[in-house]
């Protein structure tokens, strides 16, 4: 049976039961490390084919107002591993948004389900959902934050280097997006060095930078914003990038973003500028070739065969993107287990 985390004296150290998981700013370093520890245990259990249906009989609702492969599959298959049933509510086919408010949806779903996941637009929507729900609400990505992604990312980094404190992670690209923001937060929380390589127009929000710098004072982390990609990536342990235009942003933005962000592409010259044993991460999906509909469209319009990362880096021995994608499942299971367990 799954045990609560206990100290040597037998008192409980971290208790996340009933908590929402909306952004990592709401969690202490100890709580985040605890979730990573639980995810590691769940990963071992999965690999050893050990049954871990600790939430048998519970049910979860998964609201997706935007597309998803990894997050949806991690929640759905993770719920089944833990003994639960999951209901997927997609961008169409429910009353949400058209005839029913988020507050009413929350008040209905929490009478039928034990937990609710939400992927969609403004952070205020998921915060509202949590406000009106009596069961835990998990953020599966909003315009501002992508907290479940972060747990998988730092788990992958720790698996590689055996530690997180002192590790330098450089994010190259649109550093104001959900992934850029969230990486800055998780690095500050866990005492890592966060470097952003971006044009100043796409630097993260000043208020969030200030908040993260305050957190760093406690944890020993650092934050650096840099416009020169070679300076930014020098001696980094981890290079990370994400798409240049995020879900929900208009297609017309591509033209400007390509102009702004092409100098920040993670290619072999950039990868070789980091430490020799540096790894490459990407939340995925990624435009590293033209074998997708949008990839083709961009190629036809702008002549680019690869965007935020070159195919060479994506397919190289530095790349840990599929280990990272797998860890989405183990970490999302940890979030569901720790917030829903009796």
- H or E element: which one contains 137? strand 137-139
Among 198, 209, 283, 325, binds ligand NVA (CB under 6 A): 283
Contact between 274 and 299 (Cβ < 8 Å): no
Catalytic, 59? Answer no
- H or E element: which one contains 195? strand 193-197
Which whole-number Å values give the CA distances from 50 to 46, 47, 86, 164, in the listed order?
Answer: 6, 8, 21, 28
CA-based radius of gyration for the chain: 20
Pick one of ligand NVA, ligand CP, none as the site partner of residue 178 (Cβ within 5 to 8 A by kind). Answer: ligand NVA
SS3 label, residue 115: strand
Instruction: Write out the two tokens for 87.
Output: 């209901």
Nearest to 307, CA basis, from 253, 234, 235: 253
Minimum Å gap between C-beta 228 and ligand CP is 28
Q: Per rule CB under 6 A, is residue 246 in the interface with ligand NVA?
A: yes
Options 34, 52, 328, 330, the catalytic residue: 328
Q: Pairing mode, if any, of strands 168-172 and 238-241?
A: parallel
Catalytic, 12? Answer no
SS3 label, residue 132: helix
Pick one of ligand CP, ligand NVA, none as the site partner of residue 69 (Cβ within 5 to 8 A by kind). Answer: ligand CP
Q: Per rule CB under 6 A, is residue 232 in the interface with ligand NVA?
A: no
Q: What x/- string results for residues 128 through 157 when contact with ligand CP is judged by CB under 6 A?
A: -------------x-------x--------
Sign of the Cα torsion 279, 281, 287, 289 reads positive
Among 34, 43, 52, 70, binds ligand CP (CB under 6 A): 70
Q: Per rule CB under 6 A, is residue 340 in the interface with ligand CP?
A: no
Nearest to 285, CA basis, from 90, 80, 92, 73: 73
Among 116, 243, 258, 307, binds ligand NVA (CB under 6 A): 243
Pick one of ligand NVA, ligand CP, none as the site partner of residue 177 (Cβ within 5 to 8 A by kind). Answer: ligand NVA
Stretch that binds ligand CP, among 46-54, 65-73, 226-234, 287-295 (CB under 6 A): 65-73
Minimum Å gap between C-beta 200 and ligand NVA is 19
Catalytic, 67? Answer no
Nearest to 308, CA basis, from 266, 270, 272, 247: 266
Catalytic, 158? Answer no
Backbone angles phi, psi at 255, to 5 degrees: -55, -55
Minimum Å gap between C-beta 194 and ligand CP is 19
Contact between 171 and 162 (Cβ < 8 Å): no
Euclidean distance between CA atoms 57 and 37, whole angstroms = 24
Q: Per rule CB under 6 A, is residue 330 in the interface with ligand CP?
A: no
Q: Per rule CB under 6 A, is residue 284 in the interface with ligand CP?
A: yes
Pick one of ligand NVA, ligand CP, none as the site partner of residue 106 (Cβ within 5 to 8 A by kind). Answer: none
Among 71, 143, 241, 319, binds ligand CP (CB under 6 A): 71
Among 31, 242, 324, 326, binds ligand NVA (CB under 6 A): 242
Stretch that binds ligand NVA, among 8-16, 34-42, 50-58, 177-185 (CB under 6 A): 177-185
Euclidean distance between CA atoms 273 and 241, whole angstroms = 15
Which residues participate in catalysis according to the annotation? 119, 146, 149, 242, 283, 328
Residues of this chain that interact with ligand CP (CB under 6 A) are: 68-71, 141, 149, 283-284
């Amino acid at each position: 049976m799954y045990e609560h985390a206990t100290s040597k004296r037998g008192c409980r150290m971290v208790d996340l039961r009933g908590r929402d998981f909306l952004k990592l700013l709401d969690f202490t370093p100890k709580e985040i490390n605890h979730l990573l520890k639980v995810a590691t245990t769940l990963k071992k259990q999965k690999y050893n084919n050990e049954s871990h249906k600790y939430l048998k009989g519970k049910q979860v609702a998964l609201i997706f107002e935007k597309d998803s492969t990894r997050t949806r599959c991690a929640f759905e298959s993770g719920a089944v591993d833990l003994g639960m049933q999951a209901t997927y509510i997609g961008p169409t086919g429910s009353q949400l948004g058209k005839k029913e408010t988020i507050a009413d949806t929350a008040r209905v779903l929490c009478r039928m389900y034990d937990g609710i996941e939400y992927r969609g637009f403004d952070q205020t929507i998921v915060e509202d959902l949590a406000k009106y729900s009596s069961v835990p609400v998990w953020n599966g990505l909003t315009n501002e934050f992508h907290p479940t992604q972060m747990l998988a990312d730092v788990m992958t980094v720790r698996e590689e280097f055996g530690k997180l404190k002192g590790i330098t992670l450089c994010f190259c690209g649109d550093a104001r997006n959900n992934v850029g923001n969230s990486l800055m937060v998780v690095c500050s929380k866990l005492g890592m060095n966060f470097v952003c390589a971006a044009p100043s127009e796409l630097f993260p929000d000043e208020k969030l930078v200030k908040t993260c710098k305050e957190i760093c004072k406690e944890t020993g982390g650092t934050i650096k914003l840099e416009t020169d990609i070679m300076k930014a990536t020098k001696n980094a342990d981890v290079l990370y990038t994400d798409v240049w235009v995020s879900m929900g942003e208009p297609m017309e933005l591509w033209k400007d973003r390509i102009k702004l962000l092409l100098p920040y592409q993670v290619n072999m010259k950039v990868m070789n500028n980091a430490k020799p044993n540096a790894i490459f991460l990407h939340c995925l999906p990624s435009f590293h070739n033209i074998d997708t509909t949008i990839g083709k469209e961009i190629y036809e319009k702008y002549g680019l065969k690869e965007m935020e990362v070159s195919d060479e880096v994506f397919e190289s021995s530095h790349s840990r993107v599929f280990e990272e994608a797998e860890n989405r499942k183990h970490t999302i299971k940890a979030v569901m287990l720790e917030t829903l367990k009796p």
